[in-house]
Structures are given as C-alpha cells and as structure tokens.
C-alpha cells in the first residue's frame, strides 16, 4: 500500500489503474442547463398555446417569445464563450424581469392566482437554475472560461460578449 492509500482506507485499488477522465464530455452542470432549458421551453410553449387558445386568435407574437431561449440552447450545444456569455446575460436578466412581472401580477390580481402566474413562476425558477448552472466552475471550464496559463476560473471579459477574456490573476488574454 502506498502512503496515499494508508491515508484513505476507502480508496479502491482500481483507482490507481484507471485512465484520466475524458474532459471533452459534457459536465453535469451543463447537462442540467439543457434539461432546465427544455423544461423552460415546455412551459413557455404551453403558456403560449394557452394564451392563444384563451384569446381565440392566433397571434405569432405568442409563439415567438420561446424563440430566444431555444436559439440560446442551440448555441450552447455548439459551445463557446460567446454562447455562454449571451446565455448567462439573457437568463439572468430574464429572471430579474420575470420576477418583477410576477410580483406585480400577483399584487394586482389579489387572491386569484391564474395559470399564467403559475407558469411565470415556474419559468423564473428555470431561468434561475440555468443562470446558476452556467456559473458553476465545471460549466466555466467547458465553455473555455478558465485561464490556460494559471487555471484561474474567474476571468474578466475583454469585450462585452466574452469573445476575448483576460485573466484577473496573470493578465493573459485568450
């Protein structure tokens, strides 16, 4: 037994023989972003369908508001720093704006809570989960937000879309 095995009695003897994990696979936090995003799209398409059915007219504006999260999820599937930044900005702003709208709607409706307010609340939970999951260190690593020189995982954007980022610690730009 090595010294490392003596310190950890629960270590498997197979651990020393295994190869390093594949870093190109999607981490759990990014997979959680996709699951939450599809849940958000399901809520938004259901709410749009309900509003169209309730109004008895087919207005394309109701069907277009799930288009932005759908495009962002597609861009996240291809990866990249710009997709990460746009998605993080959008879902954070959408959470703040939607929470404000939810509070105003609940206050103005009194005791009656309608399905639209419930769907809005569920959408805001999904927006918050996506925003926080994109900020996870493994998500940052997957979208190349870790400095290749000193491995700092909190870079400073060199431009507002994070197409180029600068390390806060060593100043390297990539």
The residue ranges of every structural domain in the chain are 27-143, 146-174
Which phi and psi (to 5°) does residue 156 adopt?
A: -105, 130
For 124-171, the pLDDT digits (tens) are: 999 999 999 999 999 988 988 888 888 888 788 888 777 888 888 888
For 162-171, the pLDDT digits (tens) are: 788 888 888 8
> What pLDDT does residue 112 have?
66
Report, in angstroms and rounded to the nearest whole number, the Rg of the chain calculated over CA atoms. 21
This prediction's pTM: 0.76
Which residues in the chain show pLDDT less than 50?
18, 20-21
The residue ranges of DSSP E strands in the chain, in sequence order, are 156-157, 165-166
First and final CA of the chain: distance in angstroms?
Answer: 43
Which phi and psi (to 5°) does residue 17 adopt?
A: -95, -10
In terms of phi and psi (left: phi > 0; alpha: psi -120 to 50; beta: otherwise), the region of 56 is: left
Beta partners for 166?
Answer: 156, 173
Tell me how far apart the alpha carbons of residues 78 and 166 are, in angstroms, rounded to a whole number.
22
Tell me how far apart the alpha carbons of residues 95 and 171 are, in angstroms, rounded to a whole number.
32
> What pLDDT does residue 35 have?
94
> What pLDDT does residue 101 have?
87
């Amino acid at each position: 037994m090595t010294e490392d095995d003596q310190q950890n009695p629960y270590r498997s003897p197979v651990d020393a023989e295994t190869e390093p994990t594949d870093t190109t696979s999607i981490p759990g936090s990014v997979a959680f972003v996709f699951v939450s995003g599809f849940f958000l799209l399901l809520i938004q398409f259901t709410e749009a369908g309900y509003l169209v059915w309730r109004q008895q007219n087919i207005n394309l504006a109701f069907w277009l508001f799930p288009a932005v999260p759908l495009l962002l999820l597609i861009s996240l599937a291809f990866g990249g720093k710009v997709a990460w930044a746009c998605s993080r900005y959008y879902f954070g702003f959408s959470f703040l704006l939607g929470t404000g709208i939810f509070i105003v709607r609940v206050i103005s409706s009194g005791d009656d809570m309608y399905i639209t307010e419930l769907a809005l609340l569920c959408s805001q939970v999904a927006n918050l989960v996506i925003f926080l999951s994109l900020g996870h260190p493994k998500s940052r690593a997957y979208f190349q937000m870790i400095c290749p020189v000193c491995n700092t995982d909190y870079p400073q954007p060199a431009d507002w879309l994070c197409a180029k980022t600068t390390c806060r610690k060593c100043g390297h730009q990539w």
